Amino acid sequence: MSRASDGRHRHSIGVLGPGESDYNRIGTAGKNKMKGNPMGDAQGTRRWWGLDEFQLAYALFRITLGVNIIGHGLVRIIYFGPGGLEPWVLEQAALFEGHLLPMWLVHSFLYTLPFIEIVLGVLTALGLFTLEALVAGTLMMFVLVFGNLARQAWGTVGNNMHYVLYYCLLIAAIRYNCLALDTRKT
């Protein structure tokens, strides 16, 4: 965009007056949605339970990720029945035999991982200590990525990286956190 001699901005579709934009010129339907801002604003954004779309999306994403991580931990503990956690630990530890990591470290981590997942999942889903839970979740994924790199499980590393992305997106958009115990008014 360049300035016209009278101070107005030149644009590909003509000269825009002060405060005008393409979003103001796209018609009534567009105006009602955009109100001069490509991302919408408080007047032009649809509200759900008093939340704008970004807040709603953030809350749904955060809660769903939390439930997903809780499920990871619970399944590891209860899925194997009377043997509890041990059959899962032994099955996973066998994948690390003959690789870089010492087996005592692998076993220690595998015995604690499901409990870490449950705690971080609950905190994330409830939105309690949200930022701290998200950072801890990212660190947990870093450890999982490192372990899977050590055994050259590239497919698993790729899957782990999806979770790293999910956590980092939630951290980057933390300002939209809502429907969370952290954001309750006292």
Break the chain into its structural domains and give their ranges.
Answer: 2-34, 53-183
pLDDT bin (cut points 50, 70, 90) of residue 43 is: low
Give the tens place of pLDDT for each residue, 99-128: 999 999 999 999 999 999 999 999 999 999
- The yes-or-no verdict on residue 16 having pLDDT over 50 is no
Q: Is the pLDDT of residue 41 over 70?
A: no
User: What is the model's pLDDT at position 22?
Assistant: 41
Q: How far apart are CA 175 and CA 40, in angstroms?
A: 17
pLDDT at 1 over 50: no
3-state secondary structure 114-177: HHHHHHHHHHHHHCCCHHHHHHHHHHHHHHHHHHHHHCCCHHHHHHHHHHHHHHHHHHHCHHHC
What does the pLDDT read at residue 78? 84
How much is the average pLDDT of 13-33? 43
* pLDDT tens string 68-92: 999 999 999 887 667 789 989 999 9
Does 7 or 96 have the greater pLDDT score?
Answer: 96
Locate 85 and state its tokens: 């956690």
Q: Comparing 70 with 28, which gets the higher pLDDT?
A: 70
pLDDT at residue 25, as a whole number: 38
